[in-house]
Structure 1
Amino acid sequence: MDQLHLPMDLEDDIPPNHLVRVVNETVNHLDGKIFRDAYPGGGRDNYHPKMLTKVIIYAYTQQNYSSCQIAKAVRENIMFMWITGRQRPDFRTINRFRSERMKDILETVFTGVLQFLAAEKYVKLEHYFVDGTKIEANANRYTEVRTGTPSRFEG
């Protein structure tokens, strides 16, 4: 029985404008200092922080937030295989990276991603807002305006 083999190069299997390519390009344009600051004191980890960042951001765009599910996607999903260069970080590595290494710089990373996407015209910033943000109104000091969709628990 013949076995099917994946092509050595997944490049041809990823459409030119696919979201995974946008994530890859975006993270590649982030300042390397962001990642050097997350790894003070030298040493070398098994996986490059930019690659792990790409995996996490792409997973989030797919509404995949579970370290176990992300690790499974890295083994089974062509888009994840491509963005990792076929490396296979396990769920512990992904979780440790996200919760320990990136904890203090996630806001900087996401800000950099959003700035790049806006500069490249992938997104328009006027269309984004934080759900439930409170903005104080001028009418009276006890008045506030809520933006976004109210939760079902709000009165």
Structure 2
Amino acid sequence: MNNRYLKARTLARAKHEGQKYGDVPYYIHLEAVSRLASPFGTDAMIVAQLHDVIEDTETSLDELAADFGFTVADAVGYITDGDVTSRQKRKAELHRRLEALDTTEESARIALIVKACDRLANVRASRHNREHYFHQYQQEHTDFKRAVYREGLCEAIWWELDNLLYKPSKSG
């Protein structure tokens, strides 16, 4: 494994120490997102590990830039939710920001890939044991896809995401 990736994983685990993702330690979610991002390169895997560190901890983008470079820090910044308390308003703000991203910029490309990977990991996790969240993701999918999807960027992620959300099944 790449040393930068190991550093990101170690930092994310330390920063999210004690935080839960449902009934499991938060790093389980970060690992799931990172696995999905792995075909897209080391920086995508690093961003996957760090994607929630700004909104969930006292970490700053400057710290991430110092440790991992501006591409990673910018990508994490692009996908970090704002401070608005209403989920609907927070997601609308995030979607406006993501919709404006230009994939010719490496950090924007990585941000969009990791955001799709994050959503797929969340949908997979919620499909069988967190039905409320699954239905929430179904309701948000059209707006989410309008903001994040770019043709040819990570089609396999979107194929699975669309299929899970449009063809739900309790039996798998």
TM range (shorter): 0.3 to 0.5
Name the one with the larger helix percent.
Answer: 2
Q: How does the TM-score come out when normalised to structure 1? A: 0.41
Larger Rg: 1
